[in-house]
Amino acid sequence: MGFELEFIDIKMETLAIDGDLLKSKIKSDKNIRAVFLTHAQGINGLTKEIYECCKEHNVILIEDVCESHGVQVDQLTKAGAKGDLSCFSYYYAHHMSTIEGGMICTNDEKIYEYIRMLRGHGMLREARGAQIKLQYEQQYPDLNPMFIFTTPGFNVRNNEIGAIIGLSQLKRLDQMIVRRNENFQYFLRRLPNWAFKDFNLEGQSNYALNVILKEPNADLMIKLEKALEMNEIEYRRGSAGGGNQLRQPYIRNMEKFKYIDCKKFAPITDHIHFYGLYLGNYPDLQISDIDEILQVINSI
Ligand SMILES: Cc1ncc(COP(=O)(O)O)c(C=O)c1O
């Protein structure tokens, strides 16, 4: 959309943007327009200082809650409610699913209308408000109001089958979150001491069973991965979609990031990229299954 990207390292405890780094970035760069904050792995990433910093500097806050449905940001607020925009994914690995699909939340009427149009080929008829419709109809009297394409768009409309599946899961969402959290707490308590355990779990809604080495140790990592593979336990390296995004071709081939020293620039993200992985968590996962996984990990 013509914006330039900037990256900020994360904090290990939250797996989300480091508030101090964000503050100094926003203070030193007056061009920052929006912050994209991912609540990773079901851990709350939105601290009071991040929220207040965005408000104070009039920076749009976008919360990615795709893998963290139900996270409590504070006693009264769930993740996705404070940001100007927030997105949720209903992909089938997540807390609730419509097989594919998702949801965007906003309190801004203009953004709401724009997003409605964007998901349906950019067509005006997808907008809800009478005012916006009238405005376009008057501005483009030579066009059939049923077919006014206001913006380049997508076709990402959900369908009724997805809705039925989603609505039935919504009823059980809170219950499923409790189970996921219990699984993770059980798992975390029994991990060996070489694993990082100090996640900030207040208000969590666990997505996955995280294993991050406290210290860089390539040998240990190889052993861990081999042991999991030999026991047919599926895992994902890097702890969230592809680890350090600065290492992914879609970013690293941009001129701006071509020569960046990933390790120096974002040491925590880069540590997790090489020494972190996660295993699937889901409400039906039994304690006996978790014990089996723990046995493999603890045997290394
Ligand atoms: C944090 C995060 N953001 C975005 C997405 C993308 O969601 P979707 O596959 O529904 O587009 C995912 C998917 O796993 C995710 O975990």
Check whether 240 has a pLDDT greater than 80. no
Distance 41 CA to ligand 1 centre (A): 11
Question: pLDDT class for 157, splitting at 50, 70, 90?
Answer: confident
CATH of 173-298, one of 3.40.710.10, 3.10.20.740, 1.20.1600.10, 3.90.1150.10: 3.90.1150.10
CA dihedral 235, 236, 239, 241 (to 10 degrees): -150
Torsion of CA 168, 174, 178, 183, to 10 degrees: 40
* CA atoms 134, 138, 140, 144: torsion sign: positive
Return the residue whose CA atom lies nearest to atom 8 of ligand 1.
89
pLDDT mean across residues, the chain:
96
pTM, whole model, 2 decimals?
Answer: 0.95
Over residues 261-267, the mean pLDDT reads: 97
Residue 246 phi, psi dihedral angles, 5° rounding: -65, -20
What's the pLDDT tens digit per position in 83-108? 999 999 999 889 999 999 999 999 99
CA of 102 to the centre of ligand 1 (A): 9
pLDDT at 118 over 90: yes
How far lies 30's CA from each of 2, 13, 24, 105, in Å?
A: 17, 28, 11, 27
Q: Which residues line ligand 1 (CB under 6 A)?
A: 38, 64, 66-67, 89, 91, 102, 241
Task: Label residue 300 by pLDDT band (50, 70, 90).
Answer: very high
Q: Which of the listed CATH numbers 3.40.640.10, 3.40.80.10, 3.40.47.10, 3.40.50.720 matches domain 10-169?
A: 3.40.640.10
User: Ligand 1: distance of its center to the CA of 67 in Å?
Assistant: 7
Q: Does residue 193 register a pLDDT over 90?
A: yes
Domain ranges of the chain: 10-169, 173-298
241 — pLDDT class (breaks 50, 70, 90): confident
Nearest residue by C-alpha to atom 16 in ligand 1: 67
pLDDT tens, residue by residue, 48-63 = 999 999 999 999 999 9
Report the pLDDT value the prediction gives residue 59, as an integer from 0 to 100: 97
User: Measured in angstroms, how far is the CA atom of residue 91 from the centroid of ligand 1?
Assistant: 7
Q: Is the pLDDT of residue 24 over 90?
A: yes
Contact between 45 and 22 under an 8 Å Cβ cutoff? The reply is no
Percent of the chain having pLDDT more than 70?
100
Tell me what pLDDT residue 239 has.
Answer: 81
**Pocket residue to mutate for ligand 1, from 10, 67, 119, most atoms within 8 A of Cβ:** 67
pLDDT mean over 61-79:
97
Question: From the CA of 126, how far away is ligand 1's center (Å)?
Answer: 24
What tokens does 87 get? 């997105």
Q: Is the pLDDT of residue 124 over 90?
A: yes
Mean pLDDT of 258-276: 97
Question: Does residue 1 have a pLDDT over 80?
Answer: no
Report pLDDT for 28: 95
Q: How many Cβ atoms from other residues are within 10 Å of residue 216's Cβ?
A: 12
Q: Whose CA is nearest to atom 12 of ligand 1?
A: 66
* Atom number, ligand 1, closest to the C-alpha of residue 39: 1
Cβ-Cβ contacts under 8 Å for 192 (sequence gap 6 or more): 297, 298, 300
Extract the tokens encoding 156.
């990402």
